Amino acid sequence: MAVVLEVEGLRKFYGQFEALKGISFEVKEGEIFGLIGPNGAGKTTALRIIATLLTMSGGRVKLLGYDLKQNPEKFRENISYLPEEAGAYRHLTGIDYLRFMARFYDSSSEKIEEFMERAIAIAGLGERLKDKVGTYSKGMVRKLLLARALMTKPVLAILDEPTSGLDVINSLEVREIIKSYAREGLSVLLSSHNMLEVEYLSDRVALIDQGRILAIGTPQELKEKYEAPNLEVVFRRIVQ
């Protein structure tokens, strides 16, 4: 599989505090790659840099061979980003929100309708798309936002805590949507402190703590290497 995203020696300072201490990893075409670790480990900082929302303090990031520092516009053309605390316009209906967002990606009516058709299928909200977003449950809003993030079929989808705050049923639905799009060739970089969820979702994972990557591999490789039943135990053994 071709490499879509390359991250090499990525560093980030906030004043004197070093949030990322030279992390390196890559994401391949059609791969779901998980960054997992506790809150404050540096996961969201890394995702925001790759999403062009934060500047890096050092290192190099490439997407499809384009360097982030030199070609940030190429990143924006080929990625989508779903933050953990993202929201939608409460006073718009779900369908109006999706159409409003679709117009940011393309001006042609044909493309917009293509985006809309895909978004409606991803959201799976049926007639509720005609209701205002302010009447939605948290799970419905999250599926609407996932539809917005995936409707353009980006090269790389960056998902920060994609099932945050969702119940079991909604979490399962969101995971299946992500996995189905990866099977079609979408590359996914996701972060979570829920290690068991990422173990289920990801082809490969990087365990990160205090701004450093501690281990990278498939969930099975890491469990075998550290003789652990799951990634939570792997993480605990590495840290200890």
pLDDT for residue 198: 87
pLDDT for residue 99: 94
Q: For the chain, give the mean pLDDT.
A: 92
Domain housing 223: 3-85+154-239
Residue 132 located in a structural domain = no
Is the Cβ–Cβ distance between 206 and 36 less than 8 Å? yes
pLDDT for residue 68: 97
Look at residue 207 and give its three-state secondary structure: strand
Q: Which two tokens stand for residue 12?
A: 């980030």
Residue 214 located in a structural domain = yes
Residue 199 located in a structural domain = yes
pLDDT, tens digit, for every residue of 118-156?
Answer: 999 999 899 999 999 999 988 889 889 999 999 999 999
pLDDT, tens digit, for every residue of 185-206?
Answer: 999 999 988 888 888 899 999 9
Is the Cβ–Cβ distance between 212 and 23 less than 8 Å? yes
pLDDT for residue 206: 96
Helix (H) / strand (E) containing 191: strand 187-192
CB contact set of 160 (below 8 Å; sequence gap of 6+): 43, 44, 47, 81, 82, 83, 84, 190, 191
Residue 181 located in a structural domain = yes
- The span from the CA of 157 to the CA of 140, in Å, is 19
Q: What is the mean pLDDT of residues 157-180?
A: 87
Q: Specify the number of domains making up the chain.
A: 1
Residue 102 located in a structural domain = no
CATH number, domain containing residue 51: 3.40.50.300
Residue 162 located in a structural domain = yes
Of 85 and 13, which is predicted with more confidence? 13
Helix (H) / strand (E) containing 204: strand 204-209
pLDDT for residue 105: 84
Residue 231 located in a structural domain = yes
Residue 66 located in a structural domain = yes
The pTM is what? 0.92
Of 86 and 221, which is predicted with more confidence? 221
